[in-house]
Amino acid sequence: MAGIVLVGAQWGDEGKGKITDLLADDFDYVVRYQGGNNAGHTIKHGGRTLALHLIPSGVMYPHITPVIANGVVIDPKVLLEEMDRLEADGLSTRRMLISCNAHLIMPYPVSYYTS
């Protein structure tokens, strides 16, 4: 089974999400392997424009399983808001897989360090 790994070398904002979206139709999985919701990617597909921050762009394709892997830092509140927005827009997040080893940002450390 062949795969393609897309890695950026410009410290973000390079268009990785757009390139992933262009290649995604030929694959079964789109995996986000690192980063957090501070980054984002805007994709256009089938007349839709979506801004995603945690969920991989493969969510727009019904045959693709989007995966959030170990190295991703997840803010559960942001993830649930993004999932709700996608579901309201008619895109299912039910086939998405989330690693049990992904890192979680809890609200108490954020409030502790910002107060």
> Which band of pLDDT confidence, cut at 50, 70 and 90, is reported for residue 62?
very high
pLDDT at position 19 is: 80
Mean pLDDT of the region 5-23: 76
Does residue 25 form part of some domain? yes
Q: With H, G, I as helix, E, B as strand and everything else as coil, classify residue 100.
A: coil
Mean pLDDT of the region 63-68: 95
> Which band of pLDDT confidence, cut at 50, 70 and 90, is reported for residue 106?
confident
Position 109 pLDDT exceeds 80: no
Does residue 67 form part of some domain? yes
Q: Are 27 and 21 in contact (CB under 8 A)?
A: no
Does residue 2 form part of some domain? no
Which one is catalytic: 25, 26, 41, 63?
41
Does residue 63 form part of some domain? yes
Which one is catalytic: 13, 25, 28, 89?
13
- Does residue 103 have an active-site annotation? no
- Does residue 45 have an active-site annotation? no
Q: With H, G, I as helix, E, B as strand and everything else as coil, classify residue 107.
A: helix
Residue 85's CATH number? 3.40.440.10
0.75 cut: is pTM over it? yes
Mean pLDDT of the region 39-58: 83
Does residue 6 form part of some domain? no
Residues spanned by the domain of 37: 16-114
Q: Are 51 and 42 in contact (CB under 8 A)?
A: yes
Mean pLDDT of the chain: 86
Q: Percent of the chain having pLDDT more than 90? A: 41
Total domains in the fold of the chain = 1
Does residue 10 form part of some domain? no
Does residue 7 form part of some domain? no
